Amino acid sequence: MAKKIIRSIALLTGGGDCPGLNAVIRAVTKTAINVYGLEVWGVEDGYLGLIENRLRQLHQQDVSSILTLGGTILGTSNTANPFSFAVHKKSGQVEFVDVSDRVLSTIREKNIDALICIGGDGTMATAAKLAKLGVTVIGVPKTIDNDLVGTDTTFGFDTAVTTAAEALDKIHTTASSHHRVMIVEVMGRYAGWIALHAGVASGSDVILIPEIPFHIDKVAEFIMDRARRGKRFSIITVAEGAKEKGGSLTVRQTIKHSPDPIRLGGIATRLSSILEEKTGHETRAVVLGHIQRGGTPTPYDRVLATNFGFHAITLLMEKNLKGHLVVINNGQLGSIPLAKIAGKVRVIPKNHPLIQAAIGVKTSFGI
C-alpha cells in the first residue's frame, strides 16, 4: 500500500476529564509542527466539533504553558457520538441518528489527512468506526481508572491515585485522633486500580474493590479485631464499584426529579451506616468524586502524556500506522489495533503482586 502523505492533522479530546490531556495536546501539536511541519487543527468539544465543524488551527504558542494545566483546552463532550447522535425533535422526542457523514464532510472540507483521538473506550469505539469508514485515525488512551485493555497504564491514573492518597493522608490523623472508622470512596466502577494503589499508598486497613466481592461481616470483624489489639480506628478505601458478596450493597441510584431530591447512598455512605451498627464504632464517609479527575497532572503523568503524544505522531508519520492506539506495556511504548480494545475492561487479577503485598502488610480485602 502506498503511504498516504500526511500534511494536516486534527486533534480531539473525548470523554470524562483526566489530568494530562493538555500535555498530550501540547506534545502532539509541537511534534507535528516542529518535526514534520504539519498543519494542526484542534477540534472543539470532542466529536461534537467534527459534527458541527468547529475547529481552530493550533500553533505552537497556543500550546505554550498548558503542560501543567488540568482539563483540556479543546473542550470535550461526554455524549456526542456521530453514529448515534441525539437530535431533539419538535415533538419533544429525542431521536438518535447517524451523522457520521457530517464528520467526513468536515474532514474533507478542512483537508485533514489524519485524526488523533484522545479518549477512553467510548471515544475509541467511535474512532474505530471512523477508521472503518476510511479515516486515518490514531488513538491515545485516556482513563483515570486505568481500566483500558491493551495498555499497562495511562496518564491521569498517577494523578488520581495521588489525589486520593493525599485525601486519605488527611483522613488518617482524624481517624486516629477520634478513634473512628473512616471510609473513603474513590473512583473505579468496574476496576479497583485507584482504590488498590491509593489504599496501599496510604496504609489503609481495608481495601474494597469490584474484583473481590467482600463480606461485610469480615470487614466488621477485622475492625473489631484491630480494636481488640488497641487500634481504635480503621481506614477503609472503597472503590465506587465495590460489591458485597451475594449482597445488596451495590446499588447507586439517584432519584433526581422528585420534588425533594434524594440520593440513595453510594457505597461509602451505606457501608458507613452498616459498619457503625455492626461494630459500634463511630464511622464517617467521604466521597472524593470529581476532584480525582482534575488538577495539575503529576510529573509522572506529564512525562507519560508527553511520551504518548509524541508516539502518536511517530506511529502516524514513521510507522505508517492507522486505526491504532498508542499503548505502553512492560515499560515499552507500542501500539495495538483500535478494534482490540472495544467493550473490554482491564480488571485487577486476583493474584496481582500488589494485592499480595497489601495482604502482607495486613490489609483486609473483606474476605
Residue 309 contacts by C-beta under 8 Å, 6 or more apart in sequence? 23, 24, 25, 26, 27, 28, 31, 140
Stretch that binds a second copy, among 96-104, 129-137, 139-147, 172-180 (CB under 8 A): 172-180
Is residue 360 close enough to count as binding a second copy by CB under 8 A?
Answer: yes
> Taking CB under 8 A as the criterion, which residues in 134-163 touch a second copy?
152, 158, 161-163
Helices 267-279/216-228 angle, 10° precision: 50
67-106: contacts with a second copy (CB under 8 A)? 67-73, 75-78
Active site residue 145: yes
* Residue 235 exposure: Cα atoms within 13 Å on the Cβ side: 27
Q: Provide the minimum distance between the beta carbon of 128 and a second copy in the complex, in angstroms, as a whole number.
A: 24
How many residues bind to a second copy according to rule CB under 8 A?
101
Q: Of 230 and 343, which has the nearer Cβ to a second copy? A: 230
Question: Which residues from 179-208 bind a second copy, rule CB under 8 A?
Answer: 179, 182, 197-198, 200-203
Tell me which long-range contacts 65-68 makes (C-beta under 8 A, separation of at least 24).
Answer: 66/22, 66/23, 66/25, 66/26, 67/22, 67/23, 67/26, 67/302, 67/306, 68/296, 68/297, 68/302
- Does 31 bind a second copy (CB under 8 A)? Our answer is yes
Binding of residue 361 to a second copy (CB under 8 A):
yes
- Least Cβ distance, residue 234 to a second copy (angstroms): 13
Q: Is 351 in the site for a second copy (CB under 8 A)?
A: no
Nearer to a second copy, 143 or 202 (CB): 202
Total count of residues recorded for the chain: 367
Query: With CB under 8 A as the contact rule, which of the stretches 93-101, 109-117, 164-172, 340-348 interacts with a second copy?
Result: 164-172
347 in contact with a second copy (CB under 8 A)? no
Least separation in angstroms between residue 2's CB and a second copy is 26
Q: Which of 145, 158, 205, 301 is catalytic?
A: 145
How far is Cα 221 from Cα 366, in angstroms, rounded to an integer? 9
Only one of the segments 1-9, 104-112, 290-298, 343-351 lies at the binding site for a second copy (rule: CB under 8 A); that segment is: 290-298
The nearer residue to a second copy, 100 or 314, going by C-beta atoms, is 314
Q: Which is nearer to a second copy, 85 or 135 (CB)?
A: 85
| Rg from Cα positions in the chain | 23
- In angstroms, the CA 246 to CA 248 distance is 7
Q: Site for a second copy (CB under 8 A): which residue of 112, 130, 144, 167?
A: 167
The Cα–Cα gap between 38 and 306 comes to 18
Integer Cα distance of 195 and 160 in angstroms:
10
**225 contact partners, CB below 8 Å, separation of at least 6:** none
Rounded distance between C-alpha atoms, residue 14 and residue 31, angstroms: 21
Tell whether residue 53 is a contact of a second copy (CB under 8 A): no
Q: Which residues does the annotation mark as catalytic?
A: 145
